[in-house]
């Protein structure tokens, strides 16, 4: 999640620069919101409705929503939301994640590049159906936030480091 926030900031800056849109705090907030949007299911998981990485982490349903967005908001914001959401899915497809069902509703098969820990034996691309490895289908223990982000490890250092770089870049740009 820290990396998604950092990328949302950087995407807002890039959209501002390359699409010549007015720079504002709203643009930065939109970039952060777009990069975090698929994780809104964390809130629903707290109330027992869905598990994390279910419907909001299926990329194909976003396509019609993003097309509609291009008709109802300024193009730079639609581009920003598209890039932020795409980034989130790419990020969740790499390394420590639980994979993404890129082709749902056609298949529940999950894909993970450069798998971490127990899935390393699958090679560079791990792919599985949730029923084949139910322990991999969701975040598993409720300690994942603590384990990945609140302890010093490669993931937390990398993600918080890149977030700091994004924030410093934003401050320098605004200054």
What rounded mean pLDDT belongs to the chain? 84
- Angle among Cα 2, 126, 39 to the nearest 5 degrees reads 30
Bridge partners of 110?
128
Residues 99-155 pLDDT 10s = 888 999 999 888 888 876 655 566 788 887 877 766 665 555 555 566 666 778 777
φ/ψ of 128, rounded to 5, equals -160, 160
Q: Indicate the Cα dihedral angle 87, 107, 138, 124, nearest 10°.
A: -60
Q: pLDDT over 70 for what percent of the chain?
A: 78
Model confidence pLDDT, tens digit, residues 58-80:
999 999 999 999 999 999 999 99
Residue extents of the structural domains in the chain = 2-174
């Amino acid at each position: 999640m820290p990396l998604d926030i950092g990328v949302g900031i950087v995407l807002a800056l890039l959209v501002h620069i390359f699409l010549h849109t007015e720079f504002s705090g709203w643009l930065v907030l939109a970039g952060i919101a777009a990069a975090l949007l698929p994780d809104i299911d964390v809130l629903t998981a707290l109330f027992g409705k869905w598990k994390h990485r279910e419907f909001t982490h299926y990329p194909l349903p976003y396509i019609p929503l993003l097309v509609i967005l291009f008709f109802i908001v300024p193009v730079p914001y639609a581009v920003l939301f598209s890039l932020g959401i795409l980034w989130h899915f790419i990020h969740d497809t790499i390394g420590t994640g639980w994979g993404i069902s890129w082709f749902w509703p056609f298949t529940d098969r999950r894909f993970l590049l450069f798998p971490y820990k127990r899935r390393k034996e699958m090679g560079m691309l791990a792919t599985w159906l949730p029923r084949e490895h139910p322990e991999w289908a969701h975040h598993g223990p409720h300690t994942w936030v603590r384990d990945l982000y609140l302890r010093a490890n490669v993931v937390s250092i990398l993600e918080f480091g890149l977030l700091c770089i994004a924030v410093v870049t934003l401050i320098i740009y605004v200054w």
